[in-house]
Amino acid sequence: MIEETSFQVIDQKARQAANAYQFLKNTTIKERAAFMNAVADKIEALGGNLLTTAHAETSLPLARLTGEKARTIGQWRSYAKAVTTGIYTEARIDLPQASQAKADLRKYNVGLGPVAVFGASNFPFAFSTAGGDTASAIGAGCPVIVKAHPAHPETSQIMADAIAEAVKEFGWPEGIFSHITGKSNDIGAYLIQHNEIKAAAFTGSFAGGKALFDLGNQRKEPIPVFAEMGSINPVFAFQNQLTVKAEQLAKEYAASLTLGVGQFCTNPGIFIAEAGDSFERFIAALQNEILNIIPVNMLHKGIFENFEKYKKLICSQPDVSTISEVNSDISEWEGRAIVIETTAANFIKNNILSEEVFGPFGIIVKCNSKDEMLQIAQQLQGQLTITIAATNEDVHLNIDIMNIVKDKCGRLLFNGMPTGVEVVYGMQHGGPYPSTTDARFTSVGPDAVKRFVRPIAFQNWPDEFLPEELKNENTLQISRIVDGEIHSGSLKN
């Protein structure tokens, strides 16, 4: 039984978070980084109970969960390292007379305030209670209230206890991190509309993300809601590459499409190519690859039922045919891989075919010409990723398509497949609407911290009252822009 957190308890936790925000405002980047590393240590020390609990609640294999735990620890540590460099404070100092400024002006970034984080179902560690949203918000100087995902409540509680233990050991206010539970959508709606909440982060469905985004913007004081809401992640395969790699592309596509039973936000749901002998070779090879996929249980019954529902909806559309489908006796909620085919003309006119099916489901779109590939590119909505399967010559011959797809995604791949999101500075895990609500930001990599800060400028303030990041003596040893130039030393008093 999942306990439904009452509105009164949410009120209490929100007030505690607001008080904790005042505390965090006076911590340095090095102090917050030390806390983040301590949380990483706590998660690393969690024993087998964490993995077995998550396995029981999500059906994810222990090997996958072991890797995800390591990724989660790495997120906290890498984000801590990024925070301690001062890169997200963006300290700027303009001294009177030395620059065009007539006053002493100093600006840096400060946390927005308490952040509501909504856990994801498909990553019980890395995108949930102790995931990247929580880590990046705390790194920015923001307390966090997590709404646990009801699909893995015990896993969420274990992670929440680890963070709470670190808070207690540091002697920080309890409101630095809070954890609420419940199945009712009313709890999330109440949380995001609470006047103490200043931002929110969400990973999940379009319907859920858009609902939270609308609530955040309808408040008396609107707040930013950073929602990652999914993507069909198209693959455009061009003629020269398809000619030399048809069979290999089929193998790569099938593996990426069905990775994690198709329950990643970057599984490539659409494959687009021109008709011809190479296309037929690809289809033949893909048919065999799909038949070799062994079905396993999806995350939970609700996801399985939605997969079956939307799979049937799309397969019932006119002018679609099944290329290959895994057949098996359904055990609880197995995700059986299926790939269908349609024409470019049908794909262009039927918007239902562009809807995401969360699971191992792919559509192969056969184009009669380059012009049809261009039309598909122009019609696409915003995506997390778009993949270009091409030779260099293919790119030269299709510059018009390349220019279009740059406007439609956050990450543009040249060959390879989009599954596998690396937690590094260069990663962009976000994209134009409707893949996310704000294409300017990423939810993966240290730059995720940028979502939760805002600038504040200090004019003519005595040095002793300035934040450490802006004082003359650069005790934090961070790089600052002083009078228009990068400067890492101290300033003369």
320-325 sheet: strands from edge to edge = 320-325, 338-343, 361-367, 270-274, 235-237, 383-389, 409-414
At residue 223's C-alpha, the angle toward residues 221 and 228, to 5°, is 155
Count the helices and strands in the chain (H runs, E runs): 15, 17
Number of other CB atoms surrounding residue 375 within 10 Å: 17
The question of whether 228 is a catalytic residue gets the answer yes
The sign one gets for the Cα dihedral 312, 313, 318, 322 is: negative
Classify 202 as helix, strand or coil.
strand
Number of other CB atoms surrounding residue 96 within 10 Å: 12
The question of whether 367 is a catalytic residue gets the answer no
Q: Where are the alpha helices (DSSP H) in 88-152?
A: 132-140
Dihedral of CA atoms 281, 287, 289, 292 in degrees, nearest 10, equals -150
What are the Cα distances from residue 486, in Å, to 88, 90, 169, 445? 15, 11, 37, 24
Per annotation, catalytic residue among 228, 274, 356, 372: 228
Per annotation, catalytic residue among 142, 265, 367, 409: 265
One-character DSSP codes across 234-280: -EEE-HHHHHHHHHHHHHHHHHHHHGGGG-STT---EEEEE-SHHHH
| Rounded CA separation 258/375 (Å) | 27
Q: Which helix (H) or strand (E) holds 217?
A: helix 206-218
One-character DSSP codes across 356-407: --SSSEEEEEEESSHHHHHHHHHH---EEEEEEE--HHHHHHTHHHHHHHHT
CA 141 to chain centre: 20
| Rounded CA separation 443/460 (Å) | 36
Point out the residues that are catalytic.
Answer: 228, 265
